[in-house]
Amino acid sequence: MDIFEKCEKPSLAKELKEKGLYPYFHALESRQDVEVMMEGKRRIMLGSNNYLGLTTNPEVVEAGVKALEKYGTGCSGSRFLNGTLEMHLELEEKLGKFLRKDGIVTWSTGFQSNLGIISSLVGMHDYVICDRENHASIYDGCKLSYGKMLRYKHSDMVDLERVLQKVPETAGCLIVTDGVFSMGGDIAKLPEICALAKKYGARVMVDDAHGLGVLGEGGRGTASHFGLEDQVDIYMGTFSKSLASLGGYMASSPAVAEYVRHTSRPFIFSASIPPANCAVALASLTYLEKHPELPAHLRSLSQYAREGLTGRGLKIRESAANVPTPIIPIYTYETYHTLDVSREIYERGVYVNPTLPPATPEGEALLRTSYMATHTKALLDEAMDIIADVMVKNHE
C-alpha cells in the first residue's frame, strides 16, 4: 500500500473547496489590526487573538525594528548552545517579576511550551489529568509523555474528583487546564480545581495563553483573578496573543524550571526565539505594566459586544461568573449553515472564525469572535449589525 494513498482520497476540505465554502487561509495584506485589508477588501477583524491591540503599537514596533538592526534576523541555534541572547534572560527575569514566579523557561512557540513542560514532568507511572476542552497542544504534550492521561468532563468538578480517585497514591499527578478556554471563552473553575488537587496530592498547571493580559491584577492571568497565585504550581502562556509576538513560557518554582530546562526536548532541540520577537514580547510586557488599565478596558469592550450581540437576537455562550472575556462564541450549530453564514459575513466585510467539529461537539458548531482593547464601539456596532443581518436572514 502506498503511504500517500490517503492524500488522494475525498475529504471535507476538498468538498468545501469545490462548493466555494472553504473558510481557511485568507491572506492579509496589511497589519494585524482592528481593521485589515484581506484579499483586496477592508474587513473588521473579529477573529484575532491580538487582545491588547499591541501588534501596531509604535513603541512595540520600534523595539522589534531596533532588535533586528542590532542582532540580525535570527539566533541560529538553541538556547543550550549559541542561541541565548542577553535579551532572552532579560525577558525571563521581567516575566518572573510580573508573574511572581521565580522560575521561568521560554520556548519558540506556545505549542512547544506545552509539549516541553508536560513531556518533561509527566514520566513513567505518573498521571496527567485534562479537561476535555483543553487546547490541542496540551493533548499532544500528554501523548509525548510516558505517563497515563485521564480526562474529565468540561469544568465538571464531580467528574474531576471521580478521575482523581483513580490515581494510585504512589503515583505523581498533574492536573492541566486552560485558564480561559480558547473556543468557549469561559474560565476554568480554578478554586475548585486547586482544592481537589490539595485533597488528592496533585499539582496544578494552568495554560494561560488566553488569560494573560485579559484577567487578573494588571493582566496577570487566571490565577491572579482568583487570588490563587500561590496554589497554582505552573503557569504556561504565549507571546503570540496579548504580547503581540511569538513564543511561549513556563512560570514555576526555580527547581521545576531548572529541571524542565535540562529535560525538555522542544527547548533543547529548537532554535531560540528570534531577536525581534523577543524584543517585541519584552516591549509589550513593559507597555502592559505601564498601562494596567488595559485589561479592564478590554473586558468592558467585551461586555459591550456581549450585550450588543444578545440585543440583536443572537445566541452566544454566556461568560462564567459574569466575567466577560474577549472570546465570544455565537452558536450556529450545523456545519454547513456555519460555513454559509461565515462566508457571507466575510464577503460583507467582517472576519470571524467558523469553528467546526472536531473542535466543537457534533451539532454545536459556532462562530468564534474575539475582541481587542483597541476596538471602538462604532466599529463593533458596524460589525455586529452585519453579523446580525446575515444570521437573521439565514433563519428566515
Can you tell me the mean pLDDT for 246-270? Answer: 97
How far is Cα 291 from Cα 300, in angstroms, rounded to an integer?
A: 15
Which residues neighbour 338 within 8 Å (Cβ) at sequence distance 6 or greater?
Answer: 332, 354, 355, 356, 365, 366, 367
For residue 394, is pLDDT > 70?
no
Asked if 370 and 47 count as a contact pair (C-beta separation under 8 A), the reply is: yes
pLDDT tens for 330-355 read 999 999 999 999 999 999 999 999 99
Helix orientation angle between 136-144 and 110-121, rounded to the nearest 10 degrees: 40
- What top-level class would CATH report for the domain 5-51+293-395? alpha beta
- What pLDDT does 392 receive? 83
> Band of the pLDDT at 253, cuts 50, 70, 90?
very high
Mean pLDDT of 66-89: 96
Please report the pLDDT score of residue 63 as a whole number: 98
Residue 388 scores a pLDDT above 60: yes
pTM assigned to the model? 0.95
Q: CATH assignment of 58-290, given 3.40.640.10, 2.40.30.10, 1.20.1420.30, 3.40.47.10?
A: 3.40.640.10
257: left (phi over 0), alpha (psi -120 to 50) or beta: alpha
Hey, is 89 helix, strand or coil?
Answer: helix
Q: Which of 189, 210, 225, 375 is catalytic?
A: 210
Q: Which regions of the chain carry the CATH code 3.90.1150.10?
A: 5-51+293-395
Give the CA radius of gyration of the chain: 21
Q: Where in the chain is the domain with CATH 3.40.640.10?
A: 58-290
Measured CA to CA, the distance from residue 238 to residue 247 in angstroms comes to 6
- 117: nearest Cα among 235, 294, 208: 235
Q: DSSP states of 254-288 as a string?
A: HHHHHHHHTT-HHHHTSBPPPHHHHHHHHHHHHHH
- Reported as a single tens digit per residue, the pLDDT across 130-152 is 999 999 999 999 999 999 999 99
Which residue in the list 241, 264, 270, 342 is annotated as catalytic? 241
Q: What pLDDT score was predicted for residue 358? A: 82
Q: How far apart are CA 285 and CA 291, in angstroms?
A: 10
Q: Is the pLDDT assigned to residue 273 strictly greater than 60?
A: yes
pLDDT higher than 90, residue 370: yes
Catalytic residue among 119, 145, 182, 224: 182
The 8-class DSSP code of residue 108 comes to S
103, three cell numbers: 522560575
Q: Which residues contact 390 (CB under 8 A, 6 or more apart)?
A: 341, 344, 345, 348
pLDDT tens digit sequence for 231-247: 999 999 999 999 999 99
Angle in degrees, 0-180, between the axes of helices 335-347 and 377-395, rounded to the nearest 10: 130
Is 297 one of the catalytic residues?
no
pLDDT value at residue 395: 56
Taking the alpha carbons of 242, 243, 247, 253 in that order, is the dihedral positive or negative?
negative
Strands 35-38 and 41-45: antiparallel
- Is 210 a catalytic site residue? yes
**Per-residue model confidence (pLDDT) at position 360:** 82
Distance of CA 128 to the CA centre of its chain: 20
Percent above pLDDT 70 for the chain = 99
Catalytic residue status for 291: no
